[in-house]
Structure 1
């Protein structure tokens, strides 16, 4: 091949668009209806999964989504074994540790108990006599996280948490309202369980990047703004309500 041909080939290669490297995206494998493995398709599914897919496609960013236990997801993000992860509660600790982008949606944090459980409460201290179940590694609200209650963090997933409540191994559990009600229905226990008192908080949910990944975080933020403007985000949220 002549030098002229080599020069022309070089110009053509330079003119070709450079495809962005695929991002590895991680989330909780057992957080329905927001993120979970669809048993029929064997693919990641859920409300938040659909939102993340829509954002990355709007940003023209190739990706692959992988689901793991939540504790592993956080460690993988800590060691940059994944490019981003979802879905995080925006606590001060998480804000300090990660570069959070969003919110992609809001959730409502509530307490749940059995029909014969505590009647009501005025402050969290009123729940001191009871065992309150949580999921290992989860953050809830700043007030709850700091409250000196008898907390049982033995559950490794929200599903296991609801099962522990049904089995009377804990008296009260905390979590996302839509999720707890969804799991109660799936387990056929929705008539045996009830929401306790008023919601603790409306909680924005974020995606997380390593702290120094400014460019990737901005790319996601731009995609999120795009699907907000064109109505895609509202369509996904309405579909799952």
Structure 2
């Protein structure tokens, strides 16, 4: 288990090197540039309208003025979280079709083979987009059905001490499923079978997912977290998961 955790976590470093190889950069920098434009637009909107938005939420009566010092930071944090959540959704939707193509290109470089199963031209980008967006919806249902009970643990005295650790482990597991979907989906292995396959390598998945969580938490570096995670997941697929059998 410990060795699997280490292998899973170290795969992220290898993935970061992989995405800068010739032949792979275009799958990284095109969605990166689009996301950067959207991020700049979000920042501009935030700077321009943030003050007016805050004033519209806060009470304007003079005898409520003292509450501004208390409520302003709370509303600012809440709006910031909404901003981050919305941007993350847009970034994932933009990157999803490119991620499937990136996973195929990485696998071709790692295995040194090109077959009909992996070869997808750029004209198939729209088709890949529909498939990956549908997969995102299925994963979201899986996430919500398990996230709600975990979030309730934060409200239970005593148990809420371990709730943050359980939440971190759950998010690590979800991110492993999220990014392993791209190389496994390219081979016709869908969500239920993906979970069955990854359960045979729980340590691998948790170590990999935890490293992606940490990478997403580092400013600027998090812009490369998505393609790095896709390349790392493909590396784990080629070296370990491709040879495992499904257990239903």
TM-score, shorter chain, exceeding 0.5: no
TM-score (normalizing by structure 2): 0.23
Q: Which structure carries more helix by proportion?
A: 2
The structure that has the greater radius of gyration is: 1
Kindly indicate whether structure 1 or structure 2 has the higher relative contact order, using CA contacts under 8 Å at least 6 residues apart: 2
More strand by share: 1
- With structure 1 as the length reference, what TM-score do the two structures score? 0.24
